[in-house]
Amino acid sequence: MADKGKVSRRDLVKTVAVTGVAAAGGYAPALFAQDLGAQPNWDRVADVVVIGSGATGMPAAIRAREAGSSVIVVEAEPDIGGHAICSGANIPLGGGTSIQKRAGIEDSPDLVYRDLTDWSLTEPNGYADYRFNDREIMRAFADNCAQTFEFLADHGVKFVNEKPDGRAGSAHGNSVPRQMHVWAGDWPQVQTGRPNPPETRAQTSNGNGLMRPLEAAARKAGVEFLLEHRMIALHRQGPNTGRVLGVAVTNRGRTLNIRARKAVILGTGGSSGNVNFRRMFDPRLTEEYCGLAGMPWSNQDASGEQAGMAVGASLWGAANQTLEIGDNITKPGKIGCQYGYVNLTWMPGSRVFDKARASGLRVGNWQDVILVNMLGQRFYDETGGGYPGNRYNTVSPYFPDSYRNARNVKYNPPNFIPSALAGIGDGHNGGGPIWAIFDSDAVAREKWNPAPPNVDFDAGFFFTANSVPELANKIRMQYQRVPMPTANLEDTVSRYNSFVDSGTDADFAKPRPQFKIGKPPFYAAWSNPVIHDTRAGLRINGKCQVVDMKGEAIPRLYCGGESAGGFSMHGLARCLCQGFIAGKNAHDETSGA
């Protein structure tokens, strides 16, 4: 449909001056200005403009388009999917879904709501999974949960399990099983560039099986995608006033303005990749935590949050970001590479392997390594786990909203991650590099091949030497802010070997240390904790409208998923459901200037 405000693509857009500093990770500059001109020259126009093509943006786009709105999806990367396409596609949607009913599982919106607002469920470290969830947001999620599941099934998403279970994820309710796992399908996997092997394909769950069917449904419905277009700002009628008019984006050095007749929906995926933004919630998360889950396929750059804040939006639910539960931060599952998230392995066939550079060595037994800090000193029991998280039947017997749940939890804080982030006492907030130290016997036991493309020598995430002092002297990379004293590492290895002889870890109570480190060559592999979930973001209401500092909805601006706050859950359900909600409500807006 033509629009009188549209100008030729040949015209130079003069209403936006792109300034700013490049975001972390080498991404394009971004400007989050409050007012970029009252009525810019519009290059494109649609009823609904969706920012991001992940688990929030895709259902939002489909829902709005199928309801009758024209839709443009703005995606910063060369392909769709965001973090969701890299995920294990574990989706805890309940409330009385068709698959729950077939399995004889009794669930309801009221039970979902009760579960996800239960103040009484605490973890062994004292943290509570649901206590800080926003009640209005949870009510909307509960009421739309089952409908979102049916929406996925109606749009080609298939599942490998025949009935819901409680496996994987966290903070999706203790009462009944809700977790479904999406069939990976026959599509080439973003991790490998190839489909899954035929012998495992029927049982494999993966984000491709979620995002590729949704992409196909969106394109069939007539959704337009603008790939490699990065949002740099929102247009609003005035400084912190009036409706949101559209967005400014950049593409290959060119700036475009896209008008939204009805609304803009932010589905930009969170903020964990923006160092200074994430440090508002946790000052420890400095630059060395550079191996985010989902990168380098897509970043979580806080672009949606910053653009929203620039036009008056409030942040919300900060407590959920700082809680030591679930997968906010995880123990690495692979070592010797930058991207060590346990459930994501980048292989040479992947289109982003040039950025990932190495697949990493998957650790089968943490008895095979010792972990040391920058100074070459151990800091915790290597076999220690990550943060706990509630899921189906974690607490049994379970008493909803009862003090008895907390009384039945034995206090036992897992301190591996806090210890790794503690640093070396030199006044810096970040913990610095953590190195896994091991020898050739460990390589044989784990059946590792410590060579490229499995490990990353070139960027300094892996080192080898013929002696322990030589190994310490070789560890030089951008995040190793002080040299590792050779005597420290030598003493640490010697002391640990004595623990193997005695059968007792006198320092950190590792359960019966099993293997000495003594046979060259010796190795040092990057083993930093991995940042994952974003659980704080823009304040929204039950309609997924963005809310300002006065508690009022910003007209025509919506948000969902990891860029929205007020909802603590690991898993795709909150993203998908809020996209489902936002898409319909955005469509229902009346067109206007």
**Which domains are seen in the chain, by residue range?**
44-81+221-323+532-588 (3.50.50.60), 86-209 (no CATH), 332-383+435-526 (3.90.700.10)
Amino acid occupying residue 126: G
Whether the CB-CB separation of 550 and 29 falls below 8 Å is answered with no
CB 573 within 8 A of CB 90: no
Strands 254-266 and 44-51: parallel
Q: DSSP of 75-130, one letter per residue? A: -SSSSS-GGGGGS--EEE--SS-HHHHHTT----HHHHHHHTT-TT-B-TTS-BSS
Number of Cβ within 10 Å of residue 127's Cβ equals 18
* Per-residue pLDDT of the chain in tens (593 residues, 90 and over written 9): 434 344 333 332 333 333 222 333 333 344 555 444 457 899 999 999 999 999 999 999 999 999 999 999 999 999 999 999 999 999 999 999 999 999 999 999 999 999 999 999 999 999 999 999 999 999 999 999 999 999 999 999 999 999 999 988 899 999 999 999 999 989 999 999 999 998 888 889 999 999 999 999 999 999 999 999 999 999 999 999 999 999 999 999 999 999 999 999 999 999 999 999 999 999 999 999 999 999 999 999 999 999 999 999 999 999 999 999 999 999 999 999 999 999 999 999 999 999 999 999 999 999 999 999 999 999 999 999 999 999 999 999 999 999 999 888 889 888 899 999 999 999 999 999 999 999 999 999 999 999 999 999 999 999 999 999 999 999 999 999 999 999 999 999 999 999 999 999 999 999 999 999 999 999 999 999 999 999 999 999 999 999 999 999 999 999 999 999 999 999 899 999 999 999 999 999 998 75
Q: How far apart are CA 577 and CA 581, in angstroms?
A: 6
* Helix H or strand E segment including 491: helix 486-502
Q: How far is CA 558 from CA 36, 45, 74, 183, 259, in A?
A: 20, 18, 15, 30, 15
C-alpha–C-alpha distance, residues 434 and 418, integer Å: 12
Cα–Cα distance measured from residue 416 to residue 525, given in angstroms and rounded to the nearest whole number: 17
Q: What is the pLDDT of residue 299?
A: 93
Quote the pLDDT of residue 20: 29
pLDDT of residue 592: 72
**pLDDT score at 272:** 95
CA of 123: how far to CAs of 134, 137, 381, 389, in Å? 20, 23, 20, 7
First to last CA, the chain: 15
**pLDDT computed for residue 7 by the predictor:** 35
pLDDT at position 33 is: 52
C-alpha dihedral sign at 239, 243, 249, 255? negative
- Tell whether the torsion through CA atoms of 86, 90, 94 and 96 is positive or negative: positive
Exposure string of 425-441, with b = 16+ CB inside 10 Å and e = fewer, is eeeeebbbbbbbbbbbe
| H-assigned helices in 11-53 | none
Burial state string for 313-349 with b = 16 or more CB within 10 A and e = fewer than 16: bbbbbbbbbebbbbbbbbbbbbbbbbbbbbbbbbeee
- pLDDT tens figures, 209-260: 999 999 999 999 999 999 999 999 999 999 999 999 999 999 999 999 999 9
